[in-house]
Amino acid sequence: MINYLVRRLVWIVPVILVVTLVVFCISRVLPGNPVYLILGNQQADQIAIDKLTAKMGLDKPIHVQYIMYLKDLIKGDFGEAWHTGNPVSVDLKARYPATLELALASLLIAIFIGIPLGVFSSVFLNSWLDHTIRFFGFIGLSIPSFWLGLTLSYLLAFNLQLLPPPIGRIGFSFSPPNQVTGFYIIDSLLAGDLQAFKSSLSYLILPSLTLALGQIAGISGIVRSSMIDALNSDYIRSAHAYGVSPYKVYFKYALKNAMIPTITYIGNGMLYLLGGVVVVEYVFAWPGLGLYAMDCIFVKDYNGVQGVALLLAASSVIVYVAVDFFYFLFDPRVKF
């Protein structure tokens, strides 16, 4: 198992190389020139344009630019994001924890709600409970995330005032906790600041619920289908015949086999949450990678876009390795 996981980790290098090539080429062929966006189309003279073009390396052939970019990347230099004035690595370090915190919170909510719903739906097959769960699951998959986010914000934040408005990760009256993990809810607890913890948690609820609804529907549907196959297996019939308690049959024996396809869906869901939360981050003013990537695209900040793509590519490989590990964990044929 260890050798297999190591081989998968080694694949990070060629995957990242391919990602760098694709993103680099696409960012260069898109219309628009970042030099004009930096200097302004009307105010800049040709001397300033030529000077900045040479400084950014845009006067060289594209293959030379790519080689220069790879050399800097090997040194750990992602370049500078001109629209923020910071090194890209600094921006990514500040924003990645926000996206990761939101994605993990959404995924945990989806797992702890979706799996039991899928089990109950399969156990009470074709009952009113099963039809109700499937109905709301269909709605969850159908509702656009931006509409759901706006609706939840209106109802829970502005109308009922149960939760704070969508204005970031923590209230204006609180300073962000000292960064240890980058997760506000964890760092505030480590700092012993319960008020900051309550504030950051309250700001996390709305966006995480918005993202979790679709994942809950998907996970419950996968678990339901897998559980139906597992419950019709001979070993489950034998367990019932030997008088094993229903709870143990459903949640220990049947669910363990049903988790194998569910893990695949959860892994893909994590990748979606990491890379596909742009709209939700805009709705809730959540300062994560999605919001940063869109800002970079609007102003043609090449280095920022490439940095986000590289980070998400590396995260994708790590998620797939984690999925493989859980395959080994839940596969009854594997002995540790």
257: helix, strand or coil: helix
Asked whether the CA dihedral 294, 295, 298, 304 is positive or negative, the reply is negative
Q: Are 273 and 211 in contact (CB under 8 A)?
A: yes
What proportion of the chain, given as a percentage, has pLDDT over 70?
A: 92
- Could you count the other beta carbons within 10 Å of the beta carbon of residue 38? 17
Give the confidence band of 330 by pLDDT, cuts at 50, 70, 90. Answer: low
pLDDT reading at 229 higher than 90: no
Task: Return the residue matching tokens 């012993």.
Answer: 192
Number of continuous H segments (helices) and E segments (strands) in the chain: 16, 2
The secondary structure of 130-177, three-state, reads HHHHHHHHHHHHHCCHHHHHHHHHHHHHHHCCCCCCCCCCCCCCCCCC
Region of residue 32 (phi > 0: left; psi between -120 and 50: alpha; otherwise: beta): left
Closest C-alpha among 291, 306, 300, 295 to residue 38: 300
pLDDT per residue as tens digits for the range 73-99: 888 888 888 878 888 889 999 899 999
Ordered domains of the chain (ranges, CATH): 32-77 (no CATH), 94-330 (1.10.3720.10)
Give the confidence band of 336 by pLDDT, cuts at 50, 70, 90. Answer: very low
Cβ-in-10-Å burial (0-12, 13-18, 19+) of 329 comes to middle
